[in-house]
Amino acid sequence: MSAENFFDNLKNDLSFSGNREKEATCLKRYNKRGDGRLDQDEFHEMCLDLFVDDGKSFPLTETESRRIFEQLDDNQDNYIDRDEFHILWRYWLPMILQPKAALIAVDVQNDFIDGSLAVAQAEEIVPVINRILDDEGMFEQVIYTYDWHPENHVSFHNNVCLRNIHHTSKVQQKDACVFDTVVFDGHVPMEQTLWPAHCVQHSHGAKLHADLKITKDHVDIYKGVCDHVDSYSAFFDNQRLSQTELAVALCDRRITDVYVCGLAYDVCVRHTAIDAASLGFRPFVIEDACRGLTTESCDKARREMEEAGCIMVSSTQVKSMAEANTRVPKMALQAAENVALARRKAKVKLASMNSDHGDKPLTNGFVVENSSSLDM
């Protein structure tokens, strides 16, 4: 990393992405060959300045920088040309240097702490979450999610007799115990773990823990509200038949990064974080602000979340990452994949519009500049 970190100087400039003079300065700075485009080696040098760990150089392999490069090299000619660099500058860099973060506190409810479905040592996460929330300025939005089940909910063991069991189920009604998995009959057979009755709507068990800090202007998200389908994720029910308002709430605040914590690590935190990644948000899982059911299922959940693009962090790292003082390659790769996806969608949209208007092109500039699909 050079003595003067070019990108730290940009971090506090809210208008840098629209400054073509600074864009040209950046390209010239790293384009050592002087041909107006970056090859992979030059891009790697730029990334060495860009990625830092709380102000210190971040170890970066050429493989890591190459994976990002390949997403930003739209025409796959092994160079980031001027047009591609403009998209990099306009859309990719702001997600890295000026992220907009939200905290999602998942199901920090009485029944999961000391109630009917208590998770071991769950109460220990409450002061950790509270310390994170002491600096509210880190987050554009704070969200609290609730399991919010009707009394006849499909996941409750005592309701197993209310529904028919599919013939493929290894466990039948008369033998079903708490924590068993059954397959319920229906248009599409549905696998379901049977839990003790928990978080019944308006009950004490469904309330957030009394010691949990509640911020001003927060958003509450209720899941599992339908009797016939469970909802582990704060975004979708388990069958993806419906979704909550969470994605809309995040998009309304132009959130790029979500910090996920709560209960249980290997169930609702896992599903929420993985769905966040699938929707294009960059998920960070605050591990010391979570507790899970078993060591084995938590290990499995961690592997699945990492494979989906989630970043595992501790509560002490959140501030540095949320304020972009720590910038890691995995965050940048997710951002580059989002840019590449948006560009592909923009091209499809433009092709469709052009086909509707004959052969006359609708733009004489770069397609993304005229497409709202990359307005991140």
For residue 63, is it within any domain? yes
- One domain for residues 105 and 200: yes
Both 206 and 271 in one domain: the answer is yes
SS3 183: strand
Q: Would you tell me how many other CB atoms lie within 10 Å of the CB of residue 315?
A: 18
In a domain, 188, yes or no: no
Of the residues 74, 107, 237, 257, which is catalytic?
107
Domain identity same for 312 and 341: no
Same domain (yes/no): 116, 243: yes
Catalytic residue among 223, 266, 298, 310: 223
The verdict on 353 and 309 lying in the same domain is no
Provide the pLDDT for residue 354.
67
| 223 classed as catalytic | yes
Per residue, what are the HEC states of 93-140? HHHHHCCCEEEEEECCEHHHHCCCCCCCCHHHHHHHHHHHHCCHHHCC
Say whether both 60 and 46 belong to one domain. yes
Is residue 177 annotated as a catalytic residue, yes or no? Answer: no
Among the listed residues 199, 261, 268, 298, the single catalytic one is 268
Annotated catalytic, 251?
Answer: no
Report d(CA 10, CA 342) in Å as an integer: 24
Task: Extract the residue ranges of the chain whose pLDDT is less than 70.
Answer: 1-4, 354-376
Q: In terms of residue numbers, what domain contains 71?
A: 6-98+327-374
Specify the pLDDT at position 375: 45
51 & 126 share domain:
no
141 and 76 within one domain: no
* Residue 4, pLDDT score: 64
In this structure, is residue 187 part of a structural domain? no
Q: Is 166 within a domain?
A: no
In a domain, 272, yes or no: yes
Distance (Å, whole) CA 26 – CA 16: 11
CATH number at residue 296: 3.40.50.850
Same domain, 105 and 250: yes
Tokens 């974080």 correspond to 273
Predicted pLDDT at 350: 75
Domain shared by 149 and 125, yes or no: yes
Give the pLDDT score at 3.
Answer: 53
Collect all residues with Cβ–Cβ distance below 8 Å to 111 and sequence separation of at least 6: 117, 118, 147, 198, 199, 205, 206
Is residue 181 a part of any domain in this protein? no
